[in-house]
Amino acid sequence: MNFENLEVHLDELPDFKSVELNSVQKRYKKLIWINEGLVFILLFALPIVAFFIEPFPIWIPISVLVILSLVLALRATEIEKGFPLRLFGIRQYDIIYQSGFFYFTETVIPYNRIQHVEIKQGPLSRFFNLYSLRLYTAGASSGDLIIDGLDKETAQKLKAKVLAKTTIIDE
């Protein structure tokens, strides 16, 4: 198909793919693994305990373990392969974020559609000295953007940048 009557030529428009993207902090991967590990230890514990309890026929814990291992393998691929894909970039009028291995998602949010910005830190990320930036847009939370695994300086710089842009447009 060809695009016509759009006032501008599509090939002349700035391409979001041409922007240089920055990665998040490397130590964030450790934090993801710790989080994931805790969950999986709990999940694995259940069927293993079930091994030693009489009334369960043996095939139940075994099949649960097989399924769990499969899920773990998938999650591991997602984390290991997906981590280098977690990139963000800023342009003059918008912020770009991409992530995901099995579901690779690229998001572009114009600054003038951002309602407010929040820097958050969970208990574990405090230990790693990591912050996450949450950009709220109007409407459902599916439109919000969360960038995890930033150091304090980057998070604040991004926040300042985004806020400056939003307020200029407000005036």
Partner 1 sequence: MSNIDFSIPRLQSFNGIFLIFITDLIKRVRQNIFILAIPFFKKNLLQDYGTYIVVGVILLVVLQFVFSYLSYRKFKFSIQEDAFHLDQGVIKLSHVEIPFERIQNINLQQNFLQQLLNVVGFEIETAGQGTAEIKIKALDKDFAQSLKDKLIKEKELRGDDELQILEDDSASDSKIDKYSTRSEEPSLLFKLNFITLLKVGISSNLFKGVGLLLAFLAYGYNFARDFLTQIYDLNLEEDFKNRIPETLTFISILIFGVIFIGFFITVMTTVLKYYDLKITKNQENFEVEYGLFKRINKVIKKVKTQIFEIRTNPIKKLFKIKNIYVSQAASNQLSEKQKIGIVGVSKPNLDMLFRSLFNVDLSEQVYNVCRSQARLFFRYFYQSLGIIIILSLLAYAFYFNWVSGIGIFLLLFIFIFLSILKVKKSSIGINPTFINVRNGSIETIHKLIEIHKLQSVKLRRNIFQQYNGHADLILETASGSLNVEYLKVEEARKILNYLIYKVESTNKDWI
Cβ-based neighbours of 1, under 8 Å, separated by 6 or more? none
- C-alpha closest to that of 153 among 14, 20, 22, 15: 22
# binding residues, partner 1 (CB under 8 A): 38
117 is written with which tokens?
Answer: 């910005």
Using CB under 8 A as the binding rule, whether residue 8 contacts partner 1 is answered as yes
Stretch that binds partner 1, among 37-45, 53-61, 100-108, 122-130 (CB under 8 A): 100-108
Using CB under 8 A as the binding rule, whether residue 137 contacts partner 1 is answered as yes
Distance of alpha carbon 166 from its chain centroid, rounded?
A: 23
- C-alpha closest to that of 105 among 114, 117, 116, 96: 96
Q: Which of 79, 108, 146, 163 binds partner 1 (CB under 8 A)?
A: 108
Nearer to partner 1, 13 or 53 (CB): 13
Using CB under 8 A as the binding rule, whether residue 153 contacts partner 1 is answered as no
Q: What spatial distance separates the first Cα and last Cα of the chain, rounded to whole Å?
A: 40
Using CB under 8 A as the binding rule, whether residue 110 contacts partner 1 is answered as yes
The Cα 161–Cα 83 span in angstroms is 25
Nearer to partner 1, 89 or 110 (CB): 110
Chain residues binding partner 1 by CB under 8 A are 1-8, 10, 13-17, 93-94, 101-110, 112-113, 115, 137-143, 145, 169
